[in-house]
Each structure stands twice: as structure tokens, then as C-alpha cells.
């Protein structure tokens, strides 16, 4: 048998060692960093609004908890507000403003009318109307 020699075709001096060129960080990293900074800048800009919203939400949750604990209904809570400040504006709707006193008066009329018609606590009543302040007044009157 004959042996075959495998001599390298390229000798050691025939090529240079390869090294990667020096580069700045990839564009994707820079864009990701800029996007992260942009998001945090937006978050910092909206932080006061978000904090105010959180404060109002927690206040509402506490009031609901306290009302449930004291077994208070919506009409009772509404009556407390009417007694405290009747001329305070309750609703802005289109070109109208409704005070708590006006809403209370209309809801009392509605409640008295339905009571005179024989509607009592526990009866089911369907209420189908467009969006308007009167809807709230009728709903509140039916609750009374």
C-alpha cells in the first residue's frame, strides 16, 4: 500500500491573522436605550396625574368600605351631600348644570309618584332612556 501525504496547501506565512474591526455598540442597543429613556420620560411626565388618580381611587374605595360597614345606601349618602352643600353643582350635562338640591327635588318627585302608584321595595322596574341627568334622578327616586 502506498501512503498519501496530506501536506497543507497554505503555509504559515501565507495568511494574516483575522481580527474583527473595532465598532461602536450595535444600533439595536442604542435604539433600545433611547426607547427605554423615552418611556421613562413619559412616565415621569404623567406621574403627578397618576398619583392623583390613585389617591382618588383609594379615597373612593375607603368611602365605599365605610358605607358598607355602616349599612348606608346610595340615597342616604346622597341625602348627606344635599344637606352638607345643596348648591354645589352635581352634574354638568351639555349646556346645563344641576345642583344637588335640584337632583334631590326631582328624585323626590319621582319617588313619591311611584310610591303613590303602589311600587314598593323589592319590585323590579325597567328603566330605558337616553343619556341624560333625568336618568340619574329617576334611578335615585326609585331607590328612595
What is the full DSSP assignment across 111-141? HHHHHHTT--TT--------SSHHHHHHHHH
Same domain, 95 and 47: no
d(CA 94, CA 5): 98
Q: Is residue 133 part of a domain?
A: yes
For residue 103, what is the DSSP state?
H
Q: What pLDDT score was predicted for residue 30? A: 73
Same domain, 64 and 126: no
Q: Are 89 and 102 in contact (CB under 8 A)?
A: no
Same domain, 79 and 144: yes
| Average pLDDT value over all residues in the chain | 84
Same domain, 78 and 140: yes
Same domain, 119 and 132: yes
Q: What is the pTM of this model?
A: 0.58
Q: Is residue 38 part of a domain?
A: yes
Q: Is residue 13 part of a domain?
A: no
Q: What is the pLDDT of residues 69-102, one digit of tens each?
A: 999 888 898 999 999 999 999 999 989 999 999 9
Q: Is residue 3 part of a domain?
A: no
Of the three residues 51, 72, 93, the one that is the final residue of a domain is 72
Domain with 110 in it: what CATH number? 3.40.50.980
Same domain, 48 and 78: no
Number of domains making up the chain: 2
d(CA 96, CA 91): 8
Q: Which DSSP string do the residues of 29-63 spell out, in sequence order?
A: HHHHHHHHHHHHHHHHHHHHHHHHHHHHHHHHHHH
In order of 40, 41, 49, 123, the CA distances from 46 in angstroms are 10, 9, 5, 46
Q: Which of 34, 27, 134, 126 is nearest to 90 (CA)?
A: 134
Q: What is the pLDDT of residues 32-59, one digit of tens each?
A: 888 888 888 888 889 999 999 999 999 9
Domain that holds residue 77: 73-144
Same domain, 78 and 143: yes
Amino acid at each position: 500500500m502506498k501512503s498519501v501525504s496530506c501536506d497543507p496547501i497554505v503555509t504559515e506565512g501565507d495568511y494574516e491573522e483575522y481580527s474583527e474591526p473595532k465598532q461602536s455598540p450595535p444600533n439595536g442597543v442604542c435604539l433600545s436605550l433611547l426607547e427605554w429613556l423615552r418611556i421613562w420620560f413619559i412616565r415621569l411626565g404623567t406621574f403627578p396625574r397618576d398619583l392623583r388618580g390613585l389617591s382618588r381611587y383609594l379615597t373612593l374605595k375607603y368611602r365605599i368600605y365605610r358605607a358598607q360597614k355602616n349599612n348606608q345606601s346610595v340615597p342616604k349618602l346622597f341625602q348627606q351631600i344635599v344637606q352638607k352643600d345643596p348648591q354645589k353643582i352635581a352634574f354638568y350635562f351639555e349646556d346645563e348644570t344641576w345642583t344637588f338640591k335640584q337632583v334631590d327635588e326631582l328624585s323626590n318627585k319621582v319617588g313619591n309618584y311611584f310610591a303613590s302608584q303602589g311600587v314598593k321595595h323589592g319590585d323590579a322596574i325597567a328603566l330605558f332612556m337616553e343619556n341624560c341627568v333625568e336618568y340619574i334622578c329617576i334611578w335615585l327616586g326609585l331607590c328612595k
